[in-house]
Amino acid sequence: MGKRKEVAFEEKVSLVEEYLAGRLRMREAARRAGVGHTTMESWISRYRSEGISALEENGNRSKRKYSEDFKRQVAEEYLSGQGSSMAIAEKYHLRSGNLVLDWVKAYHERNSKRERGGTIMRNDHTIEERLEAVLACLEGGRALQEVAQAHQVAVQTLRSWVKKYQELGPAGLEDRRGKRLADQTPRSRDEALRIENARLKKENELLKMELYLRKKVQELERGDR
């Protein structure tokens, strides 16, 4: 395997700024630098979050340390669909999206083991399961801790679902982990109609699911009395 190419600081800055100004595509910037797409993305993310100095070689710079609580917060934001790894890295001025993914992996490994009380945490809840849990909190009058244990989810994650539901409705509970925010600008009238029809269809499905689950929660509450 060939030796990894070292890119001069000035060249990194120039390519990143050309990309941000819209004069270069990501692929072309990476090609000119002789690096992979992921490396180029990392430079751009670091530049956005920390400025030009972030592109300097950091072999002699001390590594920043992060608390376990902060790592868990970042992982749960990613898992609850609050942004891509790159977006979250920029939000918290982290070095790259890969660091976020490392923390998510560690979070998965911890939650795959038995936690207090013998409860095993899951991270593969469907939108229907998320909505059912949220409605159990908001309309069933049940405590977050109780609902979290019943649905095998961390309390912090459930709290995030509730917040998203209150802000965006059922659509806020969609699993968008690892997905970039797509550019939804239509390129033609037909494409605009297709996008709008798909959005309305999805919205209708979510409303039907919400009504069904509201009824289900109410029936369960009547049965408990």
Residue ranges of domains in the chain: 7-56, 66-113, 116-179+201-224
Angle at which helices 26-33 and 37-50 cross, to 10°:
100
37 Cβ contact list (under 8 Å, min separation 6): 26, 27, 30
**Which span out of 80-84, 113-117, 194-198 was modeled with the highest average pLDDT?**
80-84
Residue 30 above 50 pLDDT? yes
CA gap 148, 130 in Å, rounded: 10
Confidence of residue 128 (pLDDT cuts 50, 70, 90): confident
Q: Closest by alpha carbon to 119, among 145, 142, 137?
A: 145
| Torsion angle of C-alpha atoms 73, 77, 80, 81, degrees rounded to 10 | -170
Structure tokens belonging to residue 147: 């609902």
Residue 7 above 60 pLDDT? yes
> Is the sign of the CA dihedral 93, 108, 202, 172 positive or negative?
negative
pLDDT at residue 225 in the model: 53
Residue 118 above 70 pLDDT? no
32 Cβ contact list (under 8 Å, min separation 6): 15, 24
Least confident residue range of 24-38, 104-118, 152-166: 104-118
| 3 or 197, greater pLDDT | 197
CA gap 152, 160 in Å, rounded: 15
151-154: long-range contacts, CB 8 A cutoff, minimum separation 24: 151/122, 151/125, 152/119, 152/120, 152/121, 152/122, 153/121, 153/122, 153/125, 154/76, 154/111, 154/121
